[in-house]
Amino acid sequence: MPSISSDTVPQVVNFPGFCEFRAGEIAADRAFLVSFETYLKDKDWGEEMKGLPQDHCQSPHWGYVFEGRVGMRYDDGTTEEFPAGSAFYVRPGHIPITYQGAKCLFFSTKEEGGQTLEVVHRNLLAAQAS
């Protein structure tokens, strides 16, 4: 079975003082993205989701929170929060809310997760440039 670690991922996106994403593909058919994520400050990701359908992430995610906590706000108005030690599932139609010190692992479908990563990356770069 293929494997990946935070040290062997092919893509590292670092926004100094804010967050770091380490992402790569996994599974024999390369159908899943794995991302190791570290957050250095509190963040509601609503602005970074702009440009996605309904301006919400449409990818399902499975994951684990190693340290800190992460939250989700769904398009129906409900919210969830996952503290350290939580394994979780996030349904499509959400906006992440992350907190300083959070370290987590996300598994996403390649198609939807890849689309989200592209939009978020573009929006973060645009915000950094302004």
Q: pLDDT tens digit string along 89-109? A: 999 999 999 999 999 999 998
Query: How far is Cα 54 from Cα 31, in angstroms, rounded to an integer?
Result: 24
96 and 32 Cβ atoms separated by less than 8 Å: no
Residue 3, in any domain of the structure: no
Residue 124, in any domain of the structure: yes
Report pLDDT digits (tens) over 48-92: 999 999 999 999 999 999 999 999 999 999 999 999 999 999 999
Our count of domains for the chain comes to: 1
Whether 112 has a pLDDT exceeding 90, the answer reads no
Q: Which domain holds residue 119?
A: 11-129
Residue 95, in any domain of the structure: yes
Task: Please tell me whether residue 130 adopts helix, strand or coil conformation.
Answer: coil
Residue 2, in any domain of the structure: no
Query: How far is Cα 52 from Cα 80, in angstroms, rounded to an integer?
Result: 21
Residue 1, in any domain of the structure: no
Residue 5, in any domain of the structure: no
Q: What φ, ψ does residue 57 adopt, rounded to 5°?
A: -65, 130
CATH number of the domain that 45 lies in? 2.60.120.10
Q: Which helix (H) or strand (E) holds 17?
A: none
Residue percentage of the chain with pLDDT more than 70: 96
